[in-house]
Amino acid sequence: MATFSDIGASAAINLLSAIVFLVAFAILRLQPLNDRVYFPKWYLKGIRGSPTHSGAFVRKFVNLDFKTYTRFLNWMPAALKMPELELIDHAGLDSAVYIRIYLLGLKIFVPLTVLSFAVLVPVNWTDGTLEHSKDLMFSDIDKLSISNVAPGSNRFWAHLVMAYVFTFWTCYALYSEYKKIAFMRLHFLASESRRPDQFSVLVRNVPPDPYESVSEHVEHFFCVNHPDHYLTHQVVYNANSLAKMVSQKKGLQNRLCYYQNKYERNPGRKPTTKTGFWGLWGKTVDAIDYYTEEIEKLSKEVISERERVISDPKAIMPAAFVSFKTRWGAAVCAQTQQSSNPTSWLTEWAPEPRDVYWANLAIPFVEISIRRLIIAVATFFLTFFFMIPILFVQSLANIEGIEKVLPFLKPLIEKKAVKSIIQGFLPGIALKIFFILLPTLLMTMSKIEGHTSLSTLERKSAAKYYLFVLVNIFLGSIITGSAFEQLNTFVHQSATEIPKTVGVSIPMKATFFITYIMVDGWAGIAGEILRLVPLIIFHLKNAFLVKTEQDREQAMDPGCLNFASSEPRIQLYFLLGLVYSVVTPILLPFIVVFFGFAYLVFRHQIINVYDQKYESGAAFWPDVHCRIITAMIISQLLLMGLMSTKSAEQSTPLLIALPVLTIWFHRFCKGRFEPAFVKFPLQDAMVKDTLERATEPNFDLRSYLQDAYIHPVFKDDAFERPATVDDEENNILVPTKRTSHRSTPAQSKYGSEVSSDTGA
Amino acid sequence: MATFSDIGASAAINLLSAIVFLVAFAILRLQPLNDRVYFPKWYLKGIRGSPTHSGAFVRKFVNLDFKTYTRFLNWMPAALKMPELELIDHAGLDSAVYIRIYLLGLKIFVPLTVLSFAVLVPVNWTDGTLEHSKDLMFSDIDKLSISNVAPGSNRFWAHLVMAYVFTFWTCYALYSEYKKIAFMRLHFLASESRRPDQFSVLVRNVPPDPYESVSEHVEHFFCVNHPDHYLTHQVVYNANSLAKMVSQKKGLQNRLCYYQNKYERNPGRKPTTKTGFWGLWGKTVDAIDYYTEEIEKLSKEVISERERVISDPKAIMPAAFVSFKTRWGAAVCAQTQQSSNPTSWLTEWAPEPRDVYWANLAIPFVEISIRRLIIAVATFFLTFFFMIPILFVQSLANIEGIEKVLPFLKPLIEKKAVKSIIQGFLPGIALKIFFILLPTLLMTMSKIEGHTSLSTLERKSAAKYYLFVLVNIFLGSIITGSAFEQLNTFVHQSATEIPKTVGVSIPMKATFFITYIMVDGWAGIAGEILRLVPLIIFHLKNAFLVKTEQDREQAMDPGCLNFASSEPRIQLYFLLGLVYSVVTPILLPFIVVFFGFAYLVFRHQIINVYDQKYESGAAFWPDVHCRIITAMIISQLLLMGLMSTKSAEQSTPLLIALPVLTIWFHRFCKGRFEPAFVKFPLQDAMVKDTLERATEPNFDLRSYLQDAYIHPVFKDDAFERPATVDDEENNILVPTKRTSHRSTPAQSKYGSEVSSDTGA
């Protein structure tokens, strides 16, 4: 029952911490030393050179041009300046569409805020129910909410009408956004230059043939069934163990590099290491010799393993990337059924080479079905019962438990200060660790499900995470008690009781969620822009591993938009906004500020920092759309429940039409737009084919596609840095300005703007 | 609380009535006069000649060869004799697969019956709970059911294990059946001879083009986007008003024919008619002259309307049947997206020409969405609230109401005998009429939804009818009260309460359902074979309209399997069998008898009587499969509810795994088999194309496809009897033996067998 001043104080604290983050960011980003942490995107594009090239020694590391500090907030207008088309060109469609989610949040909630403040706040405020009732604690915030309206009052008509208005507005915004993004996707696909995935189809579950190898079988099958279009194919090798070895080798090379650097800086003393685990115990040996030897040994193993994989027919998986002479042929093959057995010769669009998740390409149909069942059951248990193992760990990880397992720590622990810290700290730590590990855990589960591309894996993880957030953060905060207890409650309540139970608690939790928005939303986003973890890691690597410019390139960790864990969090804000729009409108401005601020920050980040690992062409939008629809339906049902406890049951028939209409709207949008995200129209394929035949009649497609879908471990040098086998291929990643012919106007403009900003 | 003797008596009555029907059938079918009612299929095939051709006058109408009567049941082995492959050849795959539903019933329930009688009946019988309890009425039947087991008894383990065994057996039977039928379908499609729909695709939502007509637009689009495969196309005319006129003309011709016959038989007196509605009032005129004139007038109108339709560009709908040079080309076009706007250029497999529902071909995408929403809401209201209008009609249609509206009937009604009849009769009649009209109503609703083929319309109607049967017959019988009251109950009960409420009532309703099975199942099926209504109509037509052999052909009404209304009724038996298999096993033998008897009867009917209007290649099987899965899940949930009221809640975790596994099984089957019913594999298309190119290199496909998809009203003579434009095309429907080259061995064998049977 917080008052305005409580909320104000909380807002002040969170604003202050956000501002501290922003100021820290403003100062840190101007230091040339950190340039590669805050502008890695430009380095990767090859537009920005290293600031350490020129100038005085000190100025290499610290920015002494104090004038630039006075402009410390001008990254904000800079972030907004780049037009959307150039943004797509610069950062890819995925990123450009991802920040449109925040824009959609603004589009939906700014009018909702205005309307609810114009209509609902006065309606709530002028009814004096809470003032007249004596037994209720209430605050000013509650006076602005629906709680202040007397049961059975005619004022509920205002809420009812507003619920309709909000639903229609949200649907309209969703519709126009879906339309826009479908158009952007089709335009993006149509204007893309030649890419291997446009001509290729991933074929899985190639049936075994006793007389032919997989490769021959694939070739014969497609020669017969797509005689005019089949061009070539690449079989998939099971190179998982090879990939593991190569990654081991890379780790050893890093260590060797570290010791070599150490030796160079201090040539008097040869560095030593121990042969045991992580160099912690075992025999002491000369480090450089030891690692050189180890690497050589491993190199030989890698070579023999590579030969084994290539020559052993058992290492060939029953899957292949089949390429066609035309985009039309590939589009046809991807969309049709090949064999009368629908579980063999399964075809689908090939993901782009960077996007392939190689380990999952060979799972048979029946096994995939069983894996999905297991993961579905596991997701259910994880969502509703995750507290049980955590409680178990917590019960072990108390002071008595530690004393029992590690008795020698007893004297230390028994000290009062240490004891109180442990007691305060331990119960939370298991939960905290769980939440940190959750995205990884969900990603592992999605991998077990057997999806074949990274983009799909991310989408599936996001779906699981959304369920978790919905149940454990949203419902868990409204109805106190663990998700398991809630499940128990819901199972034993009727379909009409559940929205009532939840709906009644909704207005009471408004202040909690306002605080949540400020802490998780405002301060969290400000923390995002500071990039504290990559900053520290970069400087550590710089200190110990970097020798050449090339090494410094690799030490950069631009990171990327993590769709799997960040999108479900945005969805929580949509859900909160929609649920509270009618109930407690005072929450809406906080949501609007979150969306606005996040839009700004992420636009800055995708321009200057993130480097996406793959490009899926905004394939995630149907999921985003679907989840906002879910949020709408939840908000409508909860409003219905709340209304019926306010002696306004006569509104139920009117309110029940809302979810029906919303579901219908969803189905309509699905039919209208979803094919644009799943299929590829033949007309567009034909247009591109025709155009290409006219402009480049002699292009050798076969050699272009030859090695496009080779497992990354077979590309020797490529494995060190997976080459982007798209149109950016020609941009060799050296720090020279303007080697790229495509991204000239935008990148140079913004590149130089940002460069001058850091005063290099 | 019926005892064995009650059930026995009921069984005896129903068996008796079934036997009466069967004897009547056995006698009637042997009369040459009825030959066309009971063996129309053979006449349509052209295998069987009219028995009136030869022999003494009396023997034309009555069978005097009494020896044949002694063999009056030998239609039963005859029905079973025809092997399945010949049956498919003779009656089509739809019919052959339809009767496999009954076979599936036998496959599932015979082992279930044996097992439950071997295990569950002894377990139930030997526990003496009901004997020891005093306040409960019970019967011998209840002693065989789960009610006889004491709450919390360990004997429930038997039921639990059996629930698992039954589920696995049912799933196995469903799986092997789905596999078999998918194979049959693919084999059927692969072995079919050339048909227009193999080469054609239905294109809808052709976008308007300001510079081109629809026809030109279609041609240009497909010439560009399928350059190697496009052959020709046919636009769709909006000929609905023309079709109405033609059907009017046909009605008038029937009347004319009736009066001409009348005049021929009684040349002294010229027949007259009245010009008003149905010839009931108005001016009296010479009937023959009047109708001749009317027909002439209408013929002229038909001609001018036909010309208008063909020449008016507005009568061309934005849809077309596009034909390709190869089956491969058609398969590709049907399965891919054509345009970047997913709501235009929608392609799907063309239904076979007989199967097209012409009136729905031109509905735009948005309108279809809205229509579906409306019909979905209407279906919900129809299912749950249909009692409200009926109660209203019933309240009007009482004696006082009739006296008020038709006061002159008062003296008649007031008579005691009449009054009691009306009072007993009236309340039921509104309901009865509703149930008779229900399939038509549901079909109309499906038509409004905008499906484009008759087979889809039937499937969609069946889905709605199934919902109705499930809610109003199954649940309505278990929980007394209208569906609306049930809905109210369910909405206010928790998810765990609902199965309990229903589950508890299940054992008590066993006797009711046993009686239902006997009345509706046994006697109903026996009534089906008698064909009383077609028998009467045939003789009426024969008496008044028939002049020539040709007319007699047309007077035959072979009818067809009515999937839309009969399949949901079979599903009710699956549901009852699965629900009671664990609870009251005594019900199972009645189900088994039903399935066996129905299989026999319908096999006889599809061999000798029914003539399907179209052939969909068993496209309905996924629906059948899905509904049996639904029945399984319902039975599992109800068992869970029942168990938890028997103090056996500890079984819940074990039982909840069953629906999860069942749903998973459904998804597995869907992925494994459904594509065979929706898509057409390119491999098979290619095989057929190649084969055909080799055997008939000079076939003129264009002229073959020219008129395949012309609206039936444009085929002048064809409209009188929609020609079957398939391989049977050559069978001119004249009563000569063996004109067909394909159906020789089976048909001649069975044809002659049946002929000798009727002693012609």
List pLDDT tens digits, range B707-740: 788 887 777 543 333 333 333 334 333 333 333 3
The verdict on B698 touching A (C-beta cutoff 8 Å) is: no
In the sheet with A316-324, reading across from the earlier edge strand, the strands are A230-237, A316-324, A200-204, A346-349
What 3 state SS string does A152-208 have? CCCCHHHHHHHHHHHHHHHHHHHHHHHHHHHHHHHHHHHHCCCCHHHHEEEEECCCC
Given this model, what pLDDT does residue A748 score? 38
B675 contacts in chain A (CB < 8 Å): 337, 342
Give dist(CA B23, CA B530) in Å, integer.
Answer: 9
In B403-459, beta strands by DSSP E: none
CA angle A439, A440, A442 (to 5 degrees): 65
Mean pLDDT of A341-357: 86
The DSSP element (H or E) to which B186 belongs, if any, is: helix B156-191
Q: Alpha carbon of B568 to those of B101, B472, B727: distances in Å?
A: 11, 13, 32
The verdict on B409 touching A (C-beta cutoff 8 Å) is: no
Give dist(CA B364, CA B384) in Å, integer.
Answer: 30
The verdict on A667 touching B (C-beta cutoff 8 Å) is: yes
Could you tell me if A628 and A174 are in contact, meaning their C-beta atoms sit under 8 angstroms apart?
Answer: yes
Give dist(CA A61, CA A724) in Å, integer.
Answer: 32
**Which residue has tokens 């409108």?**
A585
The letter for the amino acid at A48 is R
Burial class (CB in 10 A: 0-12, 13-18, 19+), A115: middle
Residue B18 has pLDDT above 70, yes or no: yes
Contacting B residues, span 162-201, partner chain A, CB-CB under 8 Å: 186, 190
The DSSP element (H or E) to which B96 belongs, if any, is: helix B93-115
The verdict on B492 touching A (C-beta cutoff 8 Å) is: yes
Give dist(CA B96, CA A697) in Å, integer.
Answer: 55
Burial class (CB in 10 A: 0-12, 13-18, 19+), B567: buried
- Cβ <8 Å between A369 and B342: no
Token pair for residue A705? 């596609």
| Bridge partner list, B577 | none
Which phi and psi angles does B284 have, rounded to 5°? -85, 130
In B142-278, beta strands by DSSP E: 200-204, 230-237, 272-274
Could you tell me if A583 and A12 are in contact, meaning their C-beta atoms sit under 8 angstroms apart?
Answer: no
- Cβ <8 Å between A675 and B337: yes
Q: Beta strand pairing status for B272-274 and B284-286?
A: antiparallel
Give Rg (Cα) of chain B: 29
Given this model, what pLDDT does residue A530 score? 80
Among the partner residues A332, A491, A675, nearest to B495 by beta-carbon distance: A491
How many distinct helices (H) and strands (E) make up chain B? Answer: 39, 6
**A312 falls in which pLDDT band (50, 70, 90)?**
confident
Given this model, what pLDDT does residue B378 score? 93
Closest-approach residue (CA) in chain A for B661: A373
Residue B741 has pLDDT above 70, yes or no: no
Residue A196 has pLDDT above 70, yes or no: yes
Residue B318 has pLDDT above 80, yes or no: yes
Given this model, what pLDDT does residue A65 score? 67
Which phi and psi angles does A345 have, rounded to 5°? 50, 45
Given this model, what pLDDT does residue A484 score? 65
Could you tell me if A352 and A210 are in contact, meaning their C-beta atoms sit under 8 angstroms apart?
Answer: no
- Tens of pLDDT, residue by residue over A284-296, are 778 788 888 888 8
Mean pLDDT of A611-637: 91
Could you tell me if B585 and B113 are in contact, meaning their C-beta atoms sit under 8 angstroms apart?
Answer: yes
The letter for the amino acid at A699 is F
Residue B423 has pLDDT above 80, yes or no: no
The verdict on A122 touching B (C-beta cutoff 8 Å) is: no
Given this model, what pLDDT does residue B724 score? 36
Contacts of A83 (CB under 8 A, 6+ apart): A746
**B756 falls in which pLDDT band (50, 70, 90)?**
very low
Mean pLDDT of A603-627: 88
- Tens of pLDDT, residue by residue over B594-618, are 999 899 889 988 888 888 888 888 8
**B193 falls in which pLDDT band (50, 70, 90)?**
confident
Residue A57 has pLDDT above 70, yes or no: no
Residue B152 has pLDDT above 50, yes or no: yes
Interface ipTM above 0.90? no
- Tens of pLDDT, residue by residue over B259-314, are 887 787 777 777 777 776 666 667 777 878 888 888 888 888 888 888 888 788 77
Q: Beta strand pairing status for A284-286 and A272-274?
A: antiparallel
Give dist(CA B120, CA B307) in Å, integer.
Answer: 72
Give dist(CA B608, CA B598) in Å, integer.
Answer: 15
Q: Which residue has the higher pLDDT, B278 or B434?
A: B434
Domain ranges of chain A: 4-194+516-679, 196-351+696-714, 365-449
Mean pLDDT of A483-505: 74
Given this model, what pLDDT does residue B499 score? 79
What average pLDDT does the structure give for chain A? 80
Given this model, what pLDDT does residue A462 score? 94
Residue A54 has pLDDT above 70, yes or no: no
- Tens of pLDDT, residue by residue over A396-421, are 666 666 677 777 777 777 777 777 76
Query: Hey, which of A141-150, A571-580, B69-78, B416-425 has the most confident mean pLDDT?
Result: A571-580
B324 three-state secondary structure: strand
Contacting B residues, span 349-368, partner chain A, CB-CB under 8 Å: 365-366
Question: What b-and-e string marks burial along A333-357, b requiring 16 or more CB atoms within 10 Å of the CB?
Answer: bbbbbbbbbbbbbbbebbbbbbbbb
**A98 falls in which pLDDT band (50, 70, 90)?**
very high
**A724 falls in which pLDDT band (50, 70, 90)?**
very low
- Cβ <8 Å between A491 and B494: yes
First to last CA, chain B: 53
Given this model, what pLDDT does residue B727 score? 39
Task: Kindly report the nearest CA distance between residue A88 and chain B, in angstroms.
Answer: 20
Mean pLDDT of B61-83: 72
The DSSP element (H or E) to which A284 belongs, if any, is: strand A284-286
The verdict on B683 touching A (C-beta cutoff 8 Å) is: yes
Q: Which residue has the higher pLDDT, A183 or B423?
A: A183
- Cβ <8 Å between B683 and A332: no
**B651 falls in which pLDDT band (50, 70, 90)?**
confident
Give dist(CA B116, CA B125) in Å, integer.
Answer: 12
Q: How many CB atoms lie within 10 A of CB B253?
A: 16
Q: What percent of chain A has pLDDT over 90?
A: 19
The DSSP element (H or E) to which B347 belongs, if any, is: strand B346-349
Residue A667 has pLDDT above 60, yes or no: yes
Given this model, what pLDDT does residue A408 score? 74
A356: DSSP letter: B
**Which residue has tokens 């050893």?**
A252
Q: How many CB atoms lie within 10 A of CB A535?
A: 18
- Tens of pLDDT, residue by residue over B99-146, are 999 999 999 999 999 999 998 888 888 876 666 665 555 566 777 788
Contacts of B25 (CB under 8 A, 6+ apart): B38, B526, B529, B530
Residue A614 has pLDDT above 50, yes or no: yes
Could you tell me if B162 and B171 are in contact, meaning their C-beta atoms sit under 8 angstroms apart?
Answer: no
A496 contacts in chain B (CB < 8 Å): 491-492
Which phi and psi angles does B152 have, rounded to 5°? 75, 5
Residue B518 has pLDDT above 70, yes or no: yes
Diameter of chain A measured on Cα atoms? 89
Given this model, what pLDDT does residue A430 score? 73
A453: DSSP letter: B
- Tens of pLDDT, residue by residue over A745-756, are 333 344 334 333
Q: How many CB atoms lie within 10 A of CB B286?
A: 15
Given this model, what pLDDT does residue B577 score? 94
Give dist(CA B391, CA B268) in Å, integer.
Answer: 54
The verdict on A699 touching B (C-beta cutoff 8 Å) is: no
Residue A449 has pLDDT above 70, yes or no: yes
Could you tell me if B174 and B628 are in contact, meaning their C-beta atoms sit under 8 angstroms apart?
Answer: yes
DSSP string, B250-291: HHHHHHHHHHHHHHHHSTTS--EEESSGGGSSS-EEEHHHHH
Given this model, what pLDDT does residue B644 score? 83
| Bridge partner list, B698 | none
Q: Alpha carbon of B289 to those of A8, B252, B294, B670: distances in Å?
A: 96, 12, 9, 62
Task: Kindly report the nearest CA distance between residue A203 and chain B, in angstroms.
Answer: 14
Token pair for residue B190? 């692969």
Q: Nearest-CA neighbor of B575 among B75, B105, B12?
A: B105
DSSP string, A576-592: HHHHHHHH-GGGHHHHH
Task: Kindly report the nearest CA distance between residue B253 and chain A, in angstroms.
Answer: 47
Give dist(CA B631, CA B636) in Å, integer.
Answer: 9
Burial class (CB in 10 A: 0-12, 13-18, 19+), B488: middle
